[in-house]
Amino acid sequence: MVENILDVQNLYVEYKNMHQGKVSKIHAVNGVDLKLNKGEILAVAGESGCGKSTLAKAIIKLVPYNSGKIFFLGKDISSQKFVKEIQMIFQNPYASLNPKMKILDILKEPLKINTDFSDSQITSKVFEIAQKVGIDEKSLSLYPHEFSGGQRQRIAIARALILNPALVLADEPVSALDVSIQAQIINLLKDLKDSLNLTILFISHDLSVIKYLADRVAIMYLGEIVEAGLTDEIFYNHKHPYTKALLSAVPKINDIDKQRIILSGDLPSAENLPSGCKFYSRCPYCMSKCRESVPNNVRISDTHFVKCFLSVI
Ligand code: SF4
């Protein structure tokens, strides 16, 4: 039976922005719905500033949300202070590890705080997870600055997994790494997902990585999910003009759109969202009704939907 891990319903997140004494609202996440089942990797893709990291931070309660619901393992997270079964891997592994602590202590800490394990049980758990992520036991007595970027991200992954979380949020986990190291970390995540049946919400702007790793993909634009589906549906049967433009910019996904689509028109500010379709100012197919009415989700298949009037023409 499919086990639902995460169910986000009609989520809105706004930030307040103060400029020259005036307070305005930044609409970071605008009515997002998504579901994630056990053992799946759902990738959320989009340009910088589209709201994908804010969405992850709202799920793990690092930022408050204004309205909507987040159900984790069937429970509304608004009534819970901290959800230890959700863990996060951040973009910059150096900034996310305490430079004054040895790796052994960094990995022990979550178990000391959240479990009743004895010290020897904790140490053996640390050795076990270190081995799974490819860090040898001798290195556990070192400090974060003594590792390379790729090794530091392995340590950050180990720390995220040591409590055996039901959900891992990975926010651009390879974008701060050298290209040669990125592949190792992506392969590590894929292996861990398969061996531990991990459920991962994978935030990334890198569609090549997403194509390799994800089971499903959600495309986000100005805080909305404009298209979502199985990875093959998004890469080979996409319907939204924004998805098409994003994919056209990926080098060497050799069997799809060969000609790059350069979007003209201004990216609207998240402070003053346009009426109608939020993509209309940049859309090469914009029609008059796109400026006036908001397109609804149109179902293309049981697993694929798109938010665009073109799909119903
Ligand atoms: Fe373009 Fe209109 Fe579709 Fe929006 S609804 S993506 S403006 S065609």
How far does the centroid of ligand 1 lie from the alpha carbon of residue 153, in Å? 39
- Report pLDDT for 313: 54
CB-ligand 1 contact for 210 (6 Å cutoff): no
Q: Is the pLDDT of residue 153 over 60?
A: yes
Question: Residue 162 is which amino acid?
Answer: I
Residue 312 binned pLDDT confidence (cut-offs 50, 70, 90): low
| Predicted confidence (pLDDT) per residue in 248-279, tens digit | 887 765 455 557 777 777 777 777 788 899 99
CB-ligand 1 contact for 286 (6 Å cutoff): yes
**Comparing 4-13, 71-80, 102-111, which segment has the lowest mean pLDDT?**
71-80
Atom nearest to 278 CA in ligand 1: 4
Q: Is the pLDDT of residue 81 over 80?
A: no
- Report pLDDT for 258: 59
Pocket of ligand 1, candidates 278, 287, 289: which has the most ligand atoms within 8 Å of its Cβ, to mutate?
287
CA atoms within 13 A on the CB side of 18: 1
Mean per-residue pLDDT, 270-297 = 91
Vertex 55: Cα angle to 232 and 175 (nearest 5)? 65
CB-ligand 1 contact for 221 (6 Å cutoff): no
Pocket of ligand 1, candidates 310, 311, 312: which has the most ligand atoms within 8 Å of its Cβ, to mutate?
310
Q: Is the pLDDT of residue 89 over 90?
A: yes
Atom nearest to 309 CA in ligand 1: 5
Q: b/e string for 108-134 if b means 16 or more Cβ within 10 A?
A: bebbeeeeeeeeeebbebbbebbebbe
- Report pLDDT for 195: 94
Pocket of ligand 1, candidates 280, 281, 293, 307: which has the most ligand atoms within 8 Å of its Cβ, to mutate?
280
Predicted TM-score (pTM) of the model is 0.92
Residue 81 is encoded by which pair of tokens?
């202070």
CB-ligand 1 contact for 225 (6 Å cutoff): no
- Report pLDDT for 24: 84
d(CA 213, CA 235): 13
Burial bucket for residue 296 (CB in 10 Å: 0-12, 13-18, 19+): exposed
| Predicted confidence (pLDDT) per residue in 130-152, tens digit | 999 999 999 999 999 999 999 99
Residue nearest to atom 3 of ligand 1 (CA): 308
Residue nearest to atom 7 of ligand 1 (CA): 280
Residue 155 binned pLDDT confidence (cut-offs 50, 70, 90): very high
- Report pLDDT for 292: 94
Q: Which residues lie closer than 8 Å to 227 by C-beta, 6 or more apart?
A: 218, 219, 234, 238, 239, 240, 242, 243, 304, 305, 306, 307, 308
CB-ligand 1 contact for 279 (6 Å cutoff): yes
Q: Of all residues in the chain, what percent carry a pLDDT higher than 70?
A: 97
Residue nearest to atom 5 of ligand 1 (CA): 308
How far does the centroid of ligand 1 lie from the alpha carbon of residue 298, in Å? 12
How far does the centroid of ligand 1 lie from the alpha carbon of residue 238, in Å? 14
Quick count: other Cβ atoms within 10 Å of Cβ 277?
A: 25
- Report pLDDT for 253: 54
Mean per-residue pLDDT, 239-248 = 94
In the chain, beta strands by DSSP E: 4-19, 22-37, 41-45, 67-72, 75-76, 86-89, 167-171, 200-204, 216-221, 224-230, 298-301, 304-306
Sign for the CA dihedral angle at 92, 216, 80, 130 comes to: negative
CB-ligand 1 contact for 276 (6 Å cutoff): no
Pocket of ligand 1, candidates 220, 239, 267, 290: which has the most ligand atoms within 8 Å of its Cβ, to mutate?
290
Which residue's structure tokens are 């709201």? 51
Atom nearest to 295 CA in ligand 1: 5
**Comparing 3-7, 17-21, 103-107, 150-154, which segment has the lowest mean pLDDT?**
17-21
- Report pLDDT for 207: 93
Pocket of ligand 1, candidates 224, 225, 273, 279: which has the most ligand atoms within 8 Å of its Cβ, to mutate?
279
Mean of the per-residue pLDDT values for the chain? 91
- Report pLDDT for 17: 83
